[in-house]
Chains A and B, each alone.
Chain A
Amino acid sequence: MEQQNVVLEVRDLRVFYGSFNALRDISMEIPRYQVTALIGPSGCGKSTFLRCFNRMNDLIAGSSVQGQVLYRGNDIYAPTVDATRIRSEIGMVFQKPNPFPKTIYENVAFGLKINGYQGNMGEAVERSLRRAALWDEVKDRLNKSAFQLSGGQQQRLCIARALAVEPEVILMDEPASALDPIATLAIEELIRELCVEVSIVIVTHNMQQAARVSDQTAFLMMGGDRAGYLVEYGDTKEMFTNPRNERTEAYITGRFS
């Protein structure tokens, strides 16, 4: 992959929780303005891996990371790097929608206020809600509680909140697993729309979803030592029609044992 097309690069990544090795020796590149899906069975370390991209694992007591995660060529785990700053450039959306107990408007404006945003806040909020395909549904009730929204709308609000601070990358940890099929499709459509201007890394258990939304897919498994490792990484179309590795084939055809 050409360097200007790489937004994140992982080199020999290993993650530990105390003495437990959760991930071992992962090296891969995340392309800019594409959707990269991380798939694999439960416990293989997909979410742990995802959290490495914006140092969310730092918040877990006893966790430690070895190797490098390069963002725009610089190691985000270097001692001088401010993790909070990284998280504003590499945002995150979680499995369960987690709006703040505030109004819709305040949810979106929150990150901007913290960052000392000096521009027109109303316009910035509208722009983020439009990008998250939520504006038309909430424009008349911006001052209502975010909890009045449906689950799917709350998740899009969380995406709008992440978008408001203009991140370069958004990490999504099973963003549609708590949603109904219609809301799920809305999120998937949104992901495809957003990836022209934001790079997205998504963890999903739903292989059809990975096949629908992603450009690249990484398949992780848990080894005999219970550490997660990368089995295969490549073009999504290729992965789901003709994977190179027989373990990938077994997993995506449901013959995994």
Chain B
Amino acid sequence: MARASFDIHLHHLLDELMQLGGMVEKAIATSLQALKDRDLKTSERVIKEDDFIDQKRWEMEERCLELMATQQPMAVDLRVLVTILHISVELERMGDYAEGIGKISLLMGDEPPLKPLVDIPLMAEKASDMLKGSLDALVRRDTTEALAVCNKDDEVDELYDVVYRDLIELMIQDPANVQRATYLLWVAHDLERIADRATNIAERVVFMVTGKLTELNVSKY
């Protein structure tokens, strides 16, 4: 094959993107578990470990730029590199949301839980599934799977509606709930944004495969 060494570089970059995706998935799951368990130490760790995610993203960007400058990729190669670049940014921002959930946990501190967390962990689960699905679609270059990810965003939006209404109701019932309810609202918002960014990744997969940039599912929020 004429461009064997370029292909090896591209495969390495994709592997690294998957590693970054794994780090972000773990950060989301850990931040939620720590929130549920009121485990402030673990929340602190999530915040600290976001630096590794940021670092990885910068390294990937450098590698993409190096390959663009030295290999002058065209057509599908160019689209793959641009896609990797975009997705690494999306993942880094998802990591920031996980970090944000960790910070909210610290703000909540030792306060007793306002209510048992049910819908928020469900949102986290669905958003994480969307992230996994979008990365699987990337590896398999599967536009059908990418479209399925985009369609799941509606479910997360619906859950966000439910959480929002519940929390507003609790605030109305007792103004003493306002601060704790607001913290949880922030968490739900972070999760809703994670799902949106999984949709962005799926859109990039479709671009990489077809060359067409399309908005596949306009989020309600």
A residues with a Cβ closer than 8 A to B are 207-208, 211, 240-243, 248-249, 252-257
Q: For A254, what are the chain B residues with a Cβ–Cβ distance below 8 Å?
A: 2-3, 6
Partner of B72, one of A208, A249, A255, A257: A208
Q: How far is the CA of A177 from the CA of B145 in the complex (A)?
A: 46
Q: How far is the CA of A234 from the CA of B210 in the complex (A)?
A: 17
B residues with a Cβ closer than 8 A to A are 1-3, 6, 72-79, 210-212
Q: How far is the CA of A176 from the CA of B208 in the complex (A)?
A: 33
Which one of A240, A255, A256 has the greatest number of beta carbons of chain B within 10 Å? A255
Count of chain A to chain B residue pairs whose CB atoms are closer than 8 Å in the complex: 37
Q: Tell me how far the C-beta of A103 lies from the nearest C-beta in chain B, rounded to whole angstroms.
A: 40
Question: Do residues A249 and B2 form an inter-chain contact, with CB atoms below 8 A?
Answer: no
Partner of B2, one of A207, A242, A257: A257
Question: Do residues A243 and B75 form an inter-chain contact, with CB atoms below 8 A?
Answer: yes
Known: A241-B211, A242-B211. A253 touches B72 (CB 8 A): no
Q: List 3 tightest A-B contacts by C-beta distance, closest first.
A: A242-B211, A252-B74, A254-B3
Known: A241-B79, A242-B79, A242-B211. A211 touches B2 (CB 8 A): no
Q: For A248, what are the chain B residues with a Cβ–Cβ distance below 8 Å?
A: 75
Q: For B2, what are the chain A residues with a Cβ–Cβ distance below 8 Å?
A: 254-257
Q: How far is the CA of A257 from the CA of B1 in the complex (A)?
A: 8
Q: For B6, what are the chain A residues with a Cβ–Cβ distance below 8 Å?
A: 254
Q: Tell me how far the C-beta of A211 lies from the nearest C-beta in chain B, rounded to whole angstroms.
A: 7
Q: For A249, what are the chain B residues with a Cβ–Cβ distance below 8 Å?
A: 75-76
Q: Tell me how far the C-beta of B44 lies from the nearest C-beta in chain A, rounded to whole angstroms.
A: 45
Q: Tell me how far the C-beta of A59 lies from the nearest C-beta in chain B, rounded to whole angstroms.
A: 35
**Which chain A residue lies CB-closest to B207?**
A242
Q: How far is the CA of A12 from the CA of B91 in the complex (A)?
A: 52
Q: How far is the CA of A207 from the CA of B74 in the complex (A)?
A: 9
Q: For B212, what are the chain A residues with a Cβ–Cβ distance below 8 Å?
A: 242
Q: For B77, what are the chain A residues with a Cβ–Cβ distance below 8 Å?
A: 253
Question: Do residues B74 and A253 form an inter-chain contact, with CB atoms below 8 A?
Answer: yes
Question: Do residues A255 and B211 form an inter-chain contact, with CB atoms below 8 A?
Answer: no
Partner of B76, one of A207, A253, A257: A253
User: What are 18 A-B contacts defined by CB distance under 8 Å?
Assistant: A207-B74, A211-B74, A240-B78, A241-B79, A241-B211, A242-B75, A242-B210, A242-B212, A243-B75, A249-B75, A249-B76, A252-B74, A252-B75, A253-B73, A253-B75, A253-B76, A253-B77, A257-B2
